[in-house]
């Protein structure tokens, strides 16, 4: 990929963060921390990698995406709206009465959402099943899934990984949003995950770790996975909860926050400042 195309993906990730902030700000509350930390991988997937058609969301030959950490749906909604799956105006209705955009991803309401998610651990099981079903039906579609690092406390995650490894689902790529925090505290204080790389490798996954805020590293990691047949793939995204949203970065507890449109637009202005200065999204942020 040419450098100017990586720059387009960086711009796309900035726009995803901007519209995620605005979406949550209109509601007044939401899961900003974990939504912000997946903006870059969503930009890579929907900006270049995935075979999709926003005018035909149900296209049978498409690639599939499952956001297992379904509470971070505002980032996915922003991505889908920017790609033209539905009007941008919908983003102002998040979690309001009669909305098409509930707080968790819902395939029955949202064009482009391939699987309803929210109960942690269940999304990856669905994604593995989708990948397996596509192979049985002779499709060469790829299935992508994002799980949270705290979500990996769920035993169901590892049951799904065992099934994927057993079936050698080499058209399945799992991303772990390793942002170091979960709902209540830092990972190691709640349930130390030890080495994610070692664990996923033990389940038969081709595994690598990349910087989760670097679109080029994410893109190259996906290409490496696609050149490694015969195994499912795991890409661990080394990132930071709330990254790129200045008020969330400064807050230790940033899993779920309340903020208004004024705070939101201040954060949007900071994203634009960092982007123009070449320090987007995190600059010298300490991991």
Closest CA to 53 of 126, 114, 8, 103: 114
Helix (H, G, I), strand (E, B) or coil at 88: helix
- Cα dist. 191→151, 152, 199, 203, 224 in Å? 11, 10, 15, 20, 31
Distance CA 16, CA 18 (A): 5
- The pLDDT, as a whole number, for residue 283 is 52
Helix (H, G, I), strand (E, B) or coil at 260: coil
What digits encode the pLDDT tens for the residues 155-166? 999 999 999 999
Calculate what percentage of the chain has a pLDDT beyond 70: 98
- Cα dist. 100→17, 216, 254 in Å? 20, 33, 26
What digits encode the pLDDT tens for the residues 203-226? 999 999 999 999 999 999 999 999
Q: Is the pLDDT of residue 134 over 50?
A: yes
Tokens 């081709």 appear where?
A: 206
Distance CA 110, CA 226 (A): 29
**Domain annotation for the chain: domains and CATH numbers:** 3-277 (3.40.50.970)
Q: Which helix (H) or strand (E) holds 147?
A: strand 143-148
What digits encode the pLDDT tens for the residues 32-48? 999 999 999 999 999 99
What digits encode the pLDDT tens for the residues 236-261? 999 999 999 999 988 888 888 899 99
Q: pTM for the whole thing?
A: 0.96
Contacts of residue 4, defined as CB under 8 A and 6 or more positions apart, other chains included, come to none
- The pLDDT, as a whole number, for residue 180 is 93
Calculate what percentage of the chain has a pLDDT beyond 90: 87
Helix (H, G, I), strand (E, B) or coil at 51: coil
Alpha helices in the chain, H assignment, sequence order? 3-27, 32-36, 39-44, 73-83, 122-136, 155-167, 187-191, 196-202, 215-226, 246-250, 261-277
């Amino acid at each position: 990929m040419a450098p100017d195309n990586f720059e387009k993906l960086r711009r796309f990730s900035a726009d995803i963060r901007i519209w995620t902030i605005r979406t949550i700000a209109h509601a007044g509350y939401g899961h900003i921390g974990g939504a912000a930390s997946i903006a870059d991988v969503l930009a890579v997937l929907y900006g270049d990698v995935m075979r999709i058609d926003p005018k035909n969301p149900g296209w049978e030959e498409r690639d599939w995406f499952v956001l297992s950490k379904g509470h971070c749906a505002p980032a996915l909604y922003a991505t889908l709206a920017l790609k033209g799956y539905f009007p941008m105006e919908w983003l102002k209705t998040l979690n309001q009465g009669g909305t098409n955009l509930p707080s968790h991803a819902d395939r029955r309401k949202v064009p482009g959402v391939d699987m309803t998610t929210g109960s942690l651990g269940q999304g990856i099981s669905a994604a593995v099943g989708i990948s397996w079903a596509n192979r049985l039906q002779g499709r060469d579609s790829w299935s992508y899934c994002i799980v949270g690092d705290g979500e990996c406390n769920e035993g169901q995650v590892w049951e799904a990984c065992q099934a994927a490894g057993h079936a050698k689902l080499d058209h399945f790529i799992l991303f772990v949003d390793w942002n170091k925090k979960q709902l209540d505290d830092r990972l190691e204080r709640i349930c130390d995950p030890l080495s994610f790389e070692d664990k996923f490798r033990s389940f038969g996954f081709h595994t690598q770790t990349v910087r989760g805020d670097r679109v080029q590293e994410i893109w190259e990691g996906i290409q490496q996975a696609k050149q490694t047949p015969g195994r499912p793939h795991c890409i661990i995204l080394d990132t930071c909860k709330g990254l790129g949203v200045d008020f969330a970065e400064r807050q230790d507890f940033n899993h779920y926050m309340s903020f208004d449109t004024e705070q939101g637009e201040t954060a949007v202005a900071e994203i634009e400042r960092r982007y123009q200065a070449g320090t987007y999204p995190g600059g010298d942020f300490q991991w």
